Structure 1
């Protein structure tokens, strides 16, 4: 307290003024010491079990340390207590002191804690009973692909935080690194079975208010489920160290009433149909460049950087690249191995360059290829049409 008082004197403020400034902040910071408000049965069960365990653990802590402190005070040498002289379990009392705490701990672990946890885990793993719909989640560096098999909807979701904020050129937004261009939309009150997998490394789909945190592993299909009870926007992120930019892989879920969800499904289908129809028309170079810039910033800039300079050796530069400035197609209009189009469509095995043919539309692929060939000092002057990409698939 004296040190705090001297600090206040040197800073030219009163101790009461410092307390008035600090206490409101402490009053509003209590949320950071507890779980976020649960909005699913899993999250609610998790919080209830956590609180139940904390009560048991606190009682156990107080009892054990109370006995220890009492023993140390009561039997200390300064009050004349003489130590016992025995070695090993020589009598019944020593066996009782060993076995009774062991029995108490067994009762606590298996009855007071084990039974509630067992039922909660069974409920968490029951993904199929009374599931109303399925959502497939595919993790890839560093974005999510969401697929609604019942509706035929599939799209990518990437962070929409501006690169200027990430580079500290602009002030951070309210939801810095927790905002996306295409959020998940789910209906309230419906049990959603979630299937998770990955195309490259291990990712983790995590939304704290759902109580769900499940790994997406390449080559495996894992499961979890949610039943959102309240409308709202819920934010999470990949909770796995999945690579250089693992912090730029957010999850955003919009939970809406069922009528609003059905309206979103119809709207999304219309947009996807319009995008598919775009592959059959002839695009101008200017339109391809404008669309390609948007695709590049969302899908490619995180690795190859905003100016195409790359991050050697994992992410090569696109500026002056032999692949980017090489031929687009063969003279017969066919795909050339290790060409620019082939690399974007099929990726390169053993590297961080993933295949985009199954995640981007024909229009997006044509646009980003055209943009890369005419940006970063690459002045090829050529272009590729979405219809050509469609024929190469």
Structure 2
């Protein structure tokens, strides 16, 4: 039995690890960057050293048990201590630790070297979404979970990337050194993409740095790796790596689209949307942004998130401006976020109108983009 076990272990240790082979599901992912491959190789090196140490220690232990058993007439040694043995079991572990420390230190230094980046992206976590801002490019957007509430409620079949899909992925070029500046608006999050070997905490009031250089185009997924609240599991990360020319095309198109969106918002200030249009868009925005806390039926969660149906500022005719202000600026000290930076004027006006007229509230109030802009500018407060 022991001989058979030793043979199996020797076969496993003799199998080489190649980057182009399919990794074991229980092992780390080799990744698609130089640093991630170095981390994987370091992990395997330490693993094999530990396996070798385990084989030697347990081999000596079992050999001693078998060959010094009482049935063979073995007598226990009478010596109390041995200076030579103590020196040996001190020096050998010290040498092993040095052998481990050298590649580990090199890898850690490489992971922390964020100097001379080709592109810098600020990543800001909030409950429960990520915001990406490209430095010197005037491009920024929120990235939210794209899995529908129907799938989460088991009403429909799950897609392959269930809970790992977003509406707007982070787009990055391959072959370029990309620095990440990672922070948070509220609680501690953690931006983690295993294929890049990047995992950094997003702490409110602090900025942590990380970097990557992606070698292969493709789609890479990750998650928030910090328990950041009740919807922690609904905060995925999706990165799409593109060749430089395709990235440049996307960046230019995004700049144009965001500029057009800003111009459209300015035109909206002079327009009036009717109730039906506001309610239709408002329901969509509410179900994607607000329902996770206040519930689809507006009943909220007692003790955590207030109800909007039939009570509070959502039905108070004199609290319309306060309602707009809460949605735009949030409530400090609570889980109510500021949605002003996250939604367009049209979306803000629509969702507030929806909250004031859904679930039987029926205030008859409509909120227009100009009213929202006035609150943002502080003119109506």
TM-score, scaled to structure 1: 0.85
Q: Is 1:383–2:366 an aligned residue pair?
A: yes
Q: Is 1:296–2:289 an aligned residue pair?
A: no
Taking the aligned partners of 2:162 and 2:319, their CA distance within structure 1 comes to 41
Moved more, 289-298 or 171-180: 289-298
Q: How many angstroms does 1:104 deviate by? A: 0.9
Q: Secondary structure at the match of 2:312?
A: coil
Kept in 1, the 8 Å contact 2:23–2:30? The answer is no
Relative to structure 1, is the Cα distance of residues 56 and 31 closer, same or farther in structure 2, using a 3 angstrom cutoff?
closer
The aligned length equals 352
Q: Give the equivalent residue in structure 1 for 2:89.
A: 101
Q: Give the equivalent residue in structure 2 for 1:21.
A: none
Taking the aligned partners of 1:36 and 1:316, their CA distance within structure 2 comes to 43
Q: Is 1:265–2:251 an aligned residue pair?
A: yes
Q: Which stretches in structure 2 are left out of the alignment for 5+ residues?
A: 1-20, 377-381
Kept in 2, the 8 Å contact 1:198–1:216? The answer is yes
Q: Give the equivalent residue in structure 2 for 1:351.
A: 334
> What is the Cα-based RMSD across aligned positions, in Å?
1.8
Alignment of 1:14-163 (within 5 A): 31-87=24-80, 89=81, 94-110=82-98, 112-128=99-115, 130-163=116-149
Q: Deviations over 1:310-369 (max 9, x none)?
A: 122111122113111224767xxxx5xxx2112111211221111122232322222211
Taking the aligned partners of 1:260 and 1:290, their CA distance within structure 2 comes to 35
Q: How many angstroms does 1:250 deviate by? A: 0.3
Relative to structure 1, is the Cα distance of residues 227 and 61 closer, same or farther in structure 2, using a 3 angstrom cutoff?
same
Kept in 1, the 8 Å contact 2:324–2:375? The answer is no
Taking the aligned partners of 1:102 and 1:192, their CA distance within structure 2 comes to 44
Q: Give the equivalent residue in structure 2 for 1:366.
A: 349
Moved more, 284-293 or 372-381: 284-293
Taking the aligned partners of 2:23 and 2:239, their CA distance within structure 1 comes to 25
Taking the aligned partners of 1:298 and 1:278, their CA distance within structure 2 comes to 22
Q: Which stretches in structure 1 are left out of the alignment for 5+ residues?
A: 1-27
Relative to structure 1, is the Cα distance of residues 293 and 350 closer, same or farther in structure 2, using a 3 angstrom cutoff?
same
Q: How many angstroms does 1:239 deviate by? A: 0.9
Kept in 2, the 8 Å contact 1:279–1:387? The answer is no
Kept in 2, the 8 Å contact 1:328–1:341? The answer is no
Q: Give the equivalent residue in structure 2 for 1:323.
A: 313
Q: How many angstroms does 1:298 deviate by? A: 2.2
Kept in 2, the 8 Å contact 1:206–1:212? The answer is yes
Q: Deviations over 1:51-90 (max 9, x none)?
A: 1111211111111111111111111111111112344x3x
Q: Give the equivalent residue in structure 2 for 1:392.
A: 375
Q: How many angstroms does 1:106 deviate by? A: 0.8
Q: How many angstroms does 1:30 deviate by? A: 6.2
Q: Deviations over 1:279-322 (max 9, x none)?
A: 23214233332322222222212111222221221111221131
Runs of 4+ with deviation above 3 angstroms: 28-31, 327-330
Q: Deviations over 1:1-52 (max 9, x none)?
A: xxxxxxxxxxxxxxxxxxxxxxxxxxx9964122234111221111011111
Q: Give the equivalent residue in structure 2 for 1:207.
A: 193
